[in-house]
Amino acid sequence: MKKKILQRIFAVSLTAAMVVGSAGCGKQTTPPAGGGSSTDPTTTVGAEAQRQTVTFMTLDFNAGASNTGEYAEEIKSKLEDYVNADLEIEWVLNDVATEKTTLALANPATMPMIMTYSGEMTGQIVNAARAGAFVNLNDYIWDAEKYPNLSQLNKNVALNLTVDGQLIGIPRTRDIGRYGLSYRQDWAEAVGITTPPKTVDDVYDMFYKFTYNDPDGNGIDDTFGMEMTSYTGPFDIVQTWFGCGNKWAEVDGKLIPVHMQKEYIEALDWLRKVYEDGLMPQDWVSRTTDTWANGCKTGESGVYIDVMDGGRRIWDYFVNESTYTPSVVNPEEPASMNLLGAVNGKTLATSGYNGYFTLSASTCDTPEKIEAALTVLDRINDNDVRLLCEYGLEGINWERDENGNLVDLDKEDTALANNYMGFNQMIPMIPRITVQPSAATNERTERQAEVYLENEAVAVFNPALPYLANSATYSDVGATLEDIINQARTQYICGQIDKDGLQAAADQWLAQGGQQIIDEVNSQKSFNNSMQGQ
């Protein structure tokens, strides 16, 4: 084997940023679901009841310039017409968001109706939910007639925002199926691999041939199969191929961390063999994460295991004029990546969201007010209003090219972009549509979109995510305990410890708080199940 060079009212203090709003009531009519064909959002709603006022306190990522400039009021007016509400928006800079959040939660009687947080649900928000701070959205958003967009929320993502059986948040969704495997298609052809790998044995075979069968044809022993740096996220993805969960798994009705699954050892044994056989860089532990993807770009490695858009960006690099990389089988064409996705019918899921909206129970105190607030959050997902919020005005901020594709006119004109910037923070992105018209696509972006959908059907979620947020022990020592397991995993893969050493780390995890976390998580799960069964 060759040698290669050896990683309790509601007073809370949140690090998350938040958006807040309040609304009146009034019977609402429902516009077309996302993907409506109207080119003017103001014409899609039809007859409306009396317009109410909705107040938003929105995070400002634009240094005070959000929704400012010559066309700002026109854009805001069109948005208001579409959602049938007068919007009073206060843009809040990120460095004062925590203070604003604390004040809002500490004053339930004046708490804004719509509140939006960035990041994932925290223990503080769980506590506020249990104190009755928020509306149980399960009673409302699954009504597809009233809320054609919100009702399409993925149930697994909804679970991550559920407290004691109550859905307390509407997520700002992100793609669920981002993670998976990508590889050099021209290398595969060069070494005689004619079909995409389906099993872990197929992947190992690809790693081996990419390492030892001279895929670049230069006659030099200078390639690896698997791209790897000190960022260990790829190991989490590989583990799902063997049947492991996503950080945690449900086994016989109980939630346990994946390092307690039998499949975990199988996955680590496979990765250890990949390392021992020289199929990934021997010095991967010392390679910094800022070099991630460099191996594939420079022709050192042929397989990239991470987000699919990362694989697509490598493909972009190959075809870009300044970094053009010819195919090793046909130099007249650029090299390419196959964005495969799942292996063994499994891949890792994201949490499915980054930030979320809650409705205040103290100010959304009637069904009519709840309906008014949810109608705003539903309509803002429609194609035409998203087009307005994300791109601005046609003819001012964007135009169509000869093929009908969207072309940004303000990419280099920040002042012009400020007219509509900031409104995108108010969109739940449910469903995750491609706004039309869209920028011109190519085979790379189209394949990325396809594999996202393919992955979503087989992506493995973390079933403990909503409970970890309210585990006191996890809040105190969770990060430290995760380091124990991750370090042991690295040491085992690199042959520095054996199975006894791996077990010693697992025992240490249990003794230093892990067992308490398991108990706290499962206690919450049992209570949640009992509440749902009522």
Which pLDDT tens digits describe the chain residue by residue (534 residues)? 433 333 333 333 323 333 333 333 332 333 333 344 344 544 444 445 578 887 777 778 888 999 999 999 999 999 999 998 888 787 877 677 767 877 888 998 888 888 878 788 888 888 889 999 999 999 999 999 999 999 999 999 999 999 988 999 999 999 999 999 999 999 999 999 999 999 999 999 999 999 999 999 999 999 999 999 999 999 999 999 999 999 999 999 999 999 999 999 999 999 999 999 999 999 999 999 888 899 999 999 999 999 999 999 999 999 999 999 999 999 999 999 999 999 999 999 999 998 899 999 998 898 888 888 999 999 999 999 999 999 999 999 999 999 999 999 987 787 899 999 999 989 999 999 999 999 999 999 999 999 999 999 999 999 999 899 889 999 899 999 999 999 999 999 999 999 999 999 999 999 999 999 999 999 999 988 887 665
Structural domain contains residue 233: yes
Q: Which of 417, 434, 451 is the last residue of a domain?
A: 434
Q: Are residues 320 and 406 in the same domain?
A: no
Radius of gyration of the chain (CA): 25
- Listed in sequence order, the residues at least 6 apart from 303 whose beta carbon sits closer than 8 Å to its beta carbon are 181, 182, 183, 184, 203, 206, 207, 210, 225, 226, 227, 296
Structural domain contains residue 338: yes
Q: Could you tell me the end-to-end alpha-carbon distance of the chain, in angstroms, rounded to an integer? A: 62
Structural domain contains residue 81: yes
Q: What is the pLDDT of residue 48?
A: 56
Using alpha carbons only, give the angle 220, 328, 287 rounded to the nearest 5 degrees.
55
Q: Are residues 467 and 339 in the same domain?
A: yes
Interatomic CA distance for residues 71 and 84, integer angstroms: 20
Q: Which of 434, 450, 473 is the last residue of a domain?
A: 434
Q: What is the pLDDT of residue 49?
A: 58
Q: Which of 407, 434, 461 is the last residue of a domain?
A: 434
Q: What is the pLDDT of residue 122?
A: 82
Q: What is the pLDDT of residue 404?
A: 96
Q: Are residues 411 and 375 in the same domain?
A: yes
Structural domain contains residue 3: no
492: containing domain: 178-348+440-534
Interatomic CA distance for residues 30 and 46, integer angstroms: 9
Other Cβ atoms less than 10 A from the Cβ of 367: the count is 11
- Indicate the number of domains in the chain: 2
Edge-to-edge, what's the strand order for the sheet holding 170-173? 85-93, 52-60, 18-23, 114-117, 353-359, 170-173
Structural domain contains residue 52: yes
Q: Are residues 217 and 324 in the same domain?
A: yes
Q: Are residues 385 and 451 in the same domain?
A: no
Interatomic CA distance for residues 327 and 188, integer angstroms: 11
Q: Are residues 71 and 159 in the same domain?
A: yes
Using alpha carbons, list the distances in angstroms from residue 287 to 228, 270, 281: 8, 21, 9
Q: Are 229 and 298 a contacting pair, CB within 8 Å?
A: no
Q: Are residues 234 and 274 in the same domain?
A: yes
Q: Are residues 165 and 281 in the same domain?
A: no
Q: Are residues 356 and 326 in the same domain?
A: no
Q: What is the pLDDT of residue 287?
A: 95
Q: Are residues 476 and 341 in the same domain?
A: yes
Q: Are residues 182 and 107 in the same domain?
A: no
The domain that holds 376 is classified in CATH as 3.40.190.10
Structural domain contains residue 527: yes
Structural domain contains residue 470: yes
Q: Are residues 381 and 420 in the same domain?
A: yes
Q: What is the pLDDT of residue 2?
A: 38
Structural domain contains residue 6: no
